Structure 1
Amino acid sequence: MLSDYLKKKTEIYHKEIEEKLESNKLFNSTFTDKNYYKMLQVNHVFLKSYEDSIKQFLTEKDLKNLALTKLNKLQLIEKDIQELGIEPQMANKQFELESRAEAIGALYVIEGSMLGGNVIAKTLKKYPFLENKSFNYFGHYGENLGQAWKNFINYINQEFTTEEEKQQVFQGAKKAYEDLISFA
């Protein structure tokens, strides 16, 4: 299955971005507002660099089957940045994906981060400096997160079944992770 393949092949990148963003601090009460702002800024630049490229490759079938997947996360994170009064960082360029499979790989990185984002939002609400904030980006799926992720995984597992397709999806995920890491 593609999802198992991606999870295994991207594990090293996932760990690296968590280290760079110091995600572990969330769970030992040493996370600060600066950590959160950096997390938002990095994800903002990433979405700004990738969201339009991903959308260019998605087919009508993709859009129909991924209806639960919200493809407008950039505007959500921009609401959070504005609410917090932090300066958004500029994206140097729009990253170009080469195929639908690569776009799905990049989308896998974005959607996978939403799983962690839900935990992040719940944990951050316990911090006095963030208890009244909206968490438009990290909390936008709310109680629909599990179903949205399951739907996404089931769809990509059905759509990309050959070794060549799996490798292309991985290349998109790898490219996206490497860029996300470089922004941090």
Structure 2
Amino acid sequence: MDTTIQAPPETSRAKRLKAATGEVHDRLDKRIMAGEPFASVENYARFLAVQYQFHRDIDALYASPALDALLPDLEGRRRLQRISQDIADLEVALPAADGEAQFADGTFDLPTALGWLYVAEGSNLGAAFLFKMARALGLDENHGARHLAGHPDGRAQHWREFTGALDGLDLDREEEVRLMEGAKAAFRRVHALVEQAYG
């Protein structure tokens, strides 16, 4: 009989990120739903404004050669243009900038940027539920809800490819901390935008 004590398998980085950001993520989800973003097309337009401003913040990251070398299909994950088209479909103006975009100057700390991208990619995974609610408003992947539509390969597969790459990165302890803090900062940014749109 083998009495060797087996060490528990190490938790993946993506799962550690999920655990570390669980509270701020849950608080954001509740705040978004309190705004009833799918109660009307007008409310949904406010939700689009939030999405636009957040993705405007991070858009420069999708053009980064350093990040492109680490993450699969980085350019294909970019959603700002689709959100802009969704806003145009509703015949409302693009939201005014509330300051310079977070990463506009193209210089950023790599682990911090990865934390922000983790939040963006996670929101895409969770958008399946939101896409169904948008359809109830008469919106779809061709009109008004392009940015909520799933990837042709499937949301889960697209997410697994992202988290697989994230889990495989060689980060030291300090970089891990900056990754976690970047994700938390991204959640706080979206929360502030939701307050601005629905408060």
Length-normalised TM-score, structure 2: 0.78
Bigger CA radius of gyration = 2
Give the C-alpha shift of residue 20 in structure 1. Answer: 2.4
Give the C-alpha shift of residue 60 in structure 1. Answer: 4.6
Query: Residues 83, 12 of structure 1: CA spacing in aligned structure 2 closer, same or farther, 3 A cutoff?
Result: same
* Structure of greater relative contact order (alpha carbons < 8 Å, 6+ residues apart): 1
2:163 pairs with 1:130? no
Name the structure 1 match of 2:95.
Answer: 89
Distance (whole Å) between structure 1 residues aligned to residue 135 and residue 153 of structure 2? 16
Give the C-alpha shift of residue 24 in structure 1. Answer: 8.8
Query: Contact 2:49 / 2:95 at 8 angstroms: preserved in 1?
Result: yes
1:50-106 superposed Cα distances (whole Å, 9 cap, x missing partner)? 2214643734522xx412762421001001000111222122211147311111110
Aligned with residue 5 of structure 1, among 11, 16, 20: 16
Distance (whole Å) between structure 2 residues aligned to residue 175 and residue 73 of structure 1? 20
Which of the pair is proportionally richer in helix? 1
Unaligned runs of 5+ in 2: 1-11, 195-199
Name the structure 2 match of 1:177.
Answer: 187
Work out the percentage of aligned pairs sharing the same amino acid: 22
| Range with bigger deviation, 1-10 or 137-146 | 137-146
Distance (whole Å) between structure 1 residues aligned to residue 123 and residue 68 of structure 2? 24
Aligned with residue 83 of structure 2, among 63, 73, 77: 77
Query: Residues 176, 155 of structure 1: CA spacing in aligned structure 2 closer, same or farther, 3 A cutoff?
Result: same
Distance (whole Å) between structure 2 residues aligned to residue 144 and residue 2 of structure 1? 22
Name the structure 1 match of 2:29.
Answer: 18
Length-normalised TM-score, structure 1: 0.83
In the alignment, residue 20 of structure 1 is paired with which amino acid?
Answer: R
In the alignment, residue 130 of structure 1 is paired with which amino acid?
Answer: L
Query: Residues 141, 94 of structure 1: CA spacing in aligned structure 2 closer, same or farther, 3 A cutoff?
Result: same
How does 1:15-164 map onto structure 2 within 5 Å?
15-22=26-33, 25=36, 31-53=39-61, 55-56=63-64, 58-62=66-70, 65-67=71-73, 70-91=76-97, 92-96=99-103, 98-127=108-137, 129-130=138-139, 133-164=143-174
Distance (whole Å) between structure 2 residues aligned to residue 80 and residue 12 of structure 1? 30
1:153-174 superposed Cα distances (whole Å, 9 cap, x missing partner)? 0110110454322211112111
Distance (whole Å) between structure 1 residues aligned to residue 34 and residue 163 of structure 2? 24
Query: Contact 1:109 / 1:173 at 8 angstroms: preserved in 2?
Result: yes
Query: Residues 160, 34 of structure 1: CA spacing in aligned structure 2 closer, same or farther, 3 A cutoff?
Result: farther
